[in-house]
Amino acid sequence: MNRIISKIIVITVITGLFSCQTGKEKFNEADYIKSVKEWQLKRFEGLKSETGWLNLVGLHWLKEGENPFGSNEANNIIFPENAPEFIGSISLYKNDLSITINDDVEVFINDSLLKEHDIYSDADENTTSFKMGTFRWYIIKRGERYGIRLRDLESPLVKQITEIPSFPIDSKWRVEAKFEKFATTKDIAIPNVLGEIEYEKCYGELKFSIDGNEYSLLPLGDGIEDGFFVIFGDGTSAEETYGAGRFLSVEKPNEDGITYIDFNKATNPPCAFTDFATCPLPPKDNILNVRILAGEKTGEHIGQH
């Protein structure tokens, strides 16, 4: 599986999506609503954390060769005005990346104060991280392109967003689903907001019903260890909810292939909060012909990108 998609799955799992009962236990509505509210709080705290999506302030694509960067407009890559004028240069030569930091600037590279270093992107196991004052950055790889993903821990958006609008929690939208494994694994096309397409392995489909009507979703992941990751759109997309779809994690099925899809935990993708994310979009088979009145919605500063 593509490492970028894998990272999204890991982040989503960490936020506590897999806390629901399997359905065999006695279901308690009050306890369920409480658990979803607790999950919503953790989700919000995660967005506002150092590694959350609200502090992104830049996405700068690198050109082949030298890429001097800093706040001065003479640089190829221009950082926000509160950054030093000339920080250093990032070199890109045939997929090899390295950085040189100017003598009068202090940048921590992987927590060490260094002036030169090779760079590993987020497509590598040991992604190189950079710290300078309130700024944090690393290199992302999307297709054949490399870019600087820049954060500022004091980004105004962190304070501007005080809640994530959501539909009322309703256990109706926690639906039982059957995972039916394909005889042969399929490659499905996952487009992204950059206009690129990645092909991901799909091991089967999740089948479920809403109000007596049958639906299905193609999940990512094999469902063996961490469950599934789903990118979907529905009849609320571009109206009450984000137009480019939403994300959802589904706990791994039991031995009979039964699991639960909890649409109350459908989340806005990072692109709903910032112009500087590179989100995957729903595959064509995951556009549901039904209005899912559950999960996160758009609102002030959310979904206006």
Long-range contacts of 6-12 (CB under 8 A, 24+ apart): 7/122, 8/229, 8/247, 8/280, 9/220, 9/221, 9/226, 9/229, 9/249, 10/226, 11/46, 12/229, 12/247, 12/249, 12/267
Predicted pLDDT at 4:
47
Q: Do residue 198 and residue 114 come from a single domain?
A: no
Instruction: Note the pTM of the prediction, 2 decimals.
Output: 0.88
Q: Evaluate whether residue 74 is within a structural domain.
A: yes
Domain-embedded: residue 194: yes
Domain CATH number, residue 108: 2.60.200.20
Query: Do 35 and 173 have their domain in common?
Result: yes
Indicate if 42 and 101 belong to the same structural domain: no
Please write the tens of the pLDDT for every residue from 3-21: 545 555 544 544 444 444 4
pLDDT at 6: 53
| Cβ pair 15, 42 in contact under 8 A | yes
Determine the structural domain holding residue 282 and report its residue range: 3-51+163-286
Q: How many domains does the chain have?
A: 2
> Is 304 a member of any domain?
no
Q: Based on the domain organization, do 231 and 126 belong to the same domain?
A: no
* Residue-level pLDDT at 223: 84
Please give the pLDDT value at position 22.
45
> 150 and 279 share a domain?
no
CA 36 centroid distance within chain: 20
Residues 198 and 170 in one domain: yes
Do residues 124 and 191 both lie within one domain? Answer: no
Examine residue 221 and state whether it is found in any structural domain, yes or no.
yes
Enumerate residue ranges in the chain where pLDDT < 70. 1-25, 305
Tell me the C-alpha distance between 265 and 248, whole Å.
7
In a domain, 37, yes or no: yes
Q: Cα torsion at 161, 167, 168, 173 (round to 10°)? A: -130
Residue 303 lies in a domain: no
Both 144 and 193 in one domain: the answer is no
If asked whether residues 171 and 230 sit together in one domain, one would say yes
Q: Output the pLDDT for position 211.
A: 96
Six-digit token string for 235: 């009849």
Co-location of 12 and 80 in the same domain: no
298 domain residue, yes or no: no
Task: Please count the other Cβ atoms lying within 10 Å of the Cβ belonging to residue 98.
Answer: 14
Place of tokens 């090779």: 118
Q: Phi-psi bin for 223: left (phi > 0), alpha (psi -120 to 50), beta?
A: left
pLDDT, position 303? 86
Instruction: Flag whether 299 is in a domain.
Output: no
| 63 plus 42 within the same structural domain | no
Q: Are residues 204 and 134 in the same domain?
A: no
